[in-house]
């Protein structure tokens, strides 16, 4: 037997070795597959699902906490149940001045109605209204008329306290009248710069107020009313009295143009306050508010009537007669020649005789001409 191998034998040996290695690899892969199948069958733990479930549970808990700590309206407007931050009443909202005449009104005695009115409505105010007539009224636009009362931030200087109608969609359902709410109870809702309060004075009744001045849940222990309602009750008398006076004698007209509406409101308020100044400056005189307004109106229209009288000679006799009464002028007499030419040819009914007699005449008096 020779030790030397032929080429065919060598090739056969190499093929056998490669087949054995492939069989071993296949067995190993089958074992790994069996191991993986066993793990999938017997494993019941999923770390990724556990992480997702924990995140969902924490998010749901936070949402439940926010829902419990807030009131929601129909428009999903959120009112917090807790105050945003402890704050005090702003200093410029606390008025401790005594009533009476001040400034230019104090230096004048026995002023006329027009003088008292001109102290409140000056020419600069009227010029400002005329200047900004065609501009839009926006939050960024601050006319010079009210600029001294504003700070850099509009809401940092002026505040408001007032009632709300219950049909507003921003009011939560819990703030509306409800039979389950106890009497003299109050609910508070807060945002960053506003506070909403609902008080129950009687059963199945509620009063809703909005304030940008208060940011806490202070309640009077004796009356069981919130501080917002106490302030509103102490100041609403003057506002209601002024509104009543302005509505009794109003010079405003219905309009959609804000300069006209503002001018009418300023006129009404200045006349009502001007009458107070006149009473204080003339303690020994008596004048009704109606006559006070008439005297101001007559004083204001006299220059315009005189100008029209001089520049329009072709006015009718009726208008001239009325203008003469207003400016205290005598009506010019008509010459006899002009009267003869201007006499109507057709007959007119006599205004002295009864209408049933129906008497007519060509002779007319001087006023009828």
- For 240-283, the DSSP string reads HHHHHHHHHS------S-HHHHHHHHHHHHHHHHHHHHHHHH-T
Mean pLDDT of 176-195: 90
Comparison of pLDDT for 67 and 187, the residue scoring more: 187
Q: Which of 204, 221, 239 is the last residue of a domain?
A: 239
Residues 217 and 256 in one domain: no
Which pLDDT value is given to residue 132? 75
Residues 257 and 230 in one domain: no
Which pLDDT value is given to residue 362? 76
Residues 2 and 133 in one domain: no
Asked whether the beta carbons of 281 and 333 are under 8 A apart, the reply is: no
Comparison of pLDDT for 189 and 104, the residue scoring more: 189
What's the pLDDT tens digit per position in 316-356? 888 888 888 888 777 665 544 444 445 455 777 776 777 77
Q: Which range (35-39, 104-108, 264-268, 312-316) has the least confidence?
A: 35-39
Instruction: Count the domains in the chain.
Output: 5
* 36 — pLDDT class (breaks 50, 70, 90): very low
Has residue 154 got a pLDDT over 50? no
Comparison of pLDDT for 366 and 329, the residue scoring more: 329
What's the angle, vertex CA 152, arms to CA 261 and CA 273, rounded to 5? 40
Residues 183 and 224 in one domain: yes
The residues near 265 (Cβ < 8 Å, ≥ 6 apart) are: 246, 252
Which pLDDT value is given to residue 340? 46
Which pLDDT value is given to residue 99? 66
Is 154 contained in some domain? no
Has residue 142 got a pLDDT over 90? no
Residues 174 and 226 in one domain: yes
* 129 — pLDDT class (breaks 50, 70, 90): confident
Comparison of pLDDT for 128 and 225, the residue scoring more: 225
Is 105 contained in some domain? no
Residues 184 and 263 in one domain: no
Which pLDDT value is given to residue 97? 65
Residues 173 and 231 in one domain: yes
Residues 137 and 271 in one domain: yes
The residues near 278 (Cβ < 8 Å, ≥ 6 apart) are: 111, 113, 116, 287, 292
Which pLDDT value is given to residue 197? 94
Has residue 369 got a pLDDT over 90? no
Residues 85 and 164 in one domain: yes
Which pLDDT value is given to residue 357? 75
Which pLDDT value is given to residue 268? 93
Q: Which of 263, 286, 309 is the last residue of a domain?
A: 286
Has residue 52 got a pLDDT over 70? no
Asked whether the beta carbons of 252 and 261 are under 8 A apart, the reply is: yes
As given in the structure block, the two tokens for residue 235 are 């100041």
What's the pLDDT tens digit per position in 233-263? 988 888 889 999 999 999 888 888 877 888 8
Starting at the edge strand that comes first in sequence, how are the strands of the sheet with 207-211 ordered?
70-72, 78-80, 186-190, 195-199, 207-211, 161-163
Has residue 188 got a pLDDT over 90? yes
Residues 199 and 310 in one domain: no
Q: What percent of the chain has pLDDT over 70?
A: 65
Count CB atoms within 10 A of the CB of residue 205: 12
What's the pLDDT tens digit per position in 68-80? 788 888 888 888 8
The domain in which residue 127 lies consists of 111-142+249-286
Looking at mean pLDDT, say which of 24-38, 42-56, 155-169, 343-357 comes out highest. 155-169
Residues 82 and 165 in one domain: yes
């Amino acid at each position: 037997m020779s030790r030397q191998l032929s080429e065919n034998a060598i090739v056969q040996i190499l093929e056998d070795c490669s087949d054995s290695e492939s069989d071993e690899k296949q067995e190993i892969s089958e074992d790994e597959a069996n191991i993986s199948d066993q793990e999938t069958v017997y494993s019941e733990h999923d770390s990724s699902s556990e992480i997702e479930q924990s995140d969902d549970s924490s998010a749901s808990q936070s949402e439940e906490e926010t829902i419990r700590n807030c009131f929601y309206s129909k428009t999903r407007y959120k009112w917090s149940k807790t105050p945003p931050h402890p704050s005090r009443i702003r200093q410029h909202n606390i008025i401790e001045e005594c009533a009476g005449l001040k400034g230019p009104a104090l230096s004048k005695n026995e002023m006329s109605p027009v003088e008292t009115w001109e102290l409140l409505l000056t020419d600069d105010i009227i010029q400002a209204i005329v200047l900004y007539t065609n501009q839009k009224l926006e939050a960024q636009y601050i006319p010079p008329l009210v600029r001294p009362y504003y700070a850099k931030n509009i809401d940092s200087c002026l505040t408001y306290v007032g009632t709300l109608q219950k049909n507003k969609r921003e009011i939560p359902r819990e703030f509306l009248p409800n039979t389950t709410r106890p009497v003299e109870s109050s609910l508070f809702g807060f945002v960053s710069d506003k506070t909403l309060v609902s008080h129950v004075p009687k059963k199945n009744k509620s009063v809703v107020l909005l304030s940008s001045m208060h940011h806490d849940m202070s309640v009077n222990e004796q009356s069981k009313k919130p501080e917002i309602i106490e302030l509103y009750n102490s100041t609403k008398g003057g506002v209601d009295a002024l509104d009543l006076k302005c509505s009794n004698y109003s010079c405003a007209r219905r309009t959609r143009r804000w300069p006209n509406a503002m001018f009418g409101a300023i006129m009404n308020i200045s006349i009502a306050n001007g009458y107070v100044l006149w009473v204080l400056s003339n303690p020994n005189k008596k004048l009704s508010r109606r006559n006070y307004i008439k005297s101001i109106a007559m004083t204001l229209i006299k220059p315009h009537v005189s100008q029209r009288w001089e520049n329009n000679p072709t006015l009718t006799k009726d208008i001239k007669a009325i203008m003469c009464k207003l400016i205290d002028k005598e009506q010019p007499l008509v010459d006899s020649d002009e009267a003869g030419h201007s006499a109507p040819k057709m007959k007119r009914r006599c205004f002295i005789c009864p209408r049933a007699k129906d008497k007519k005449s060509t002779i007319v008096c001087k006023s009828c001409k």
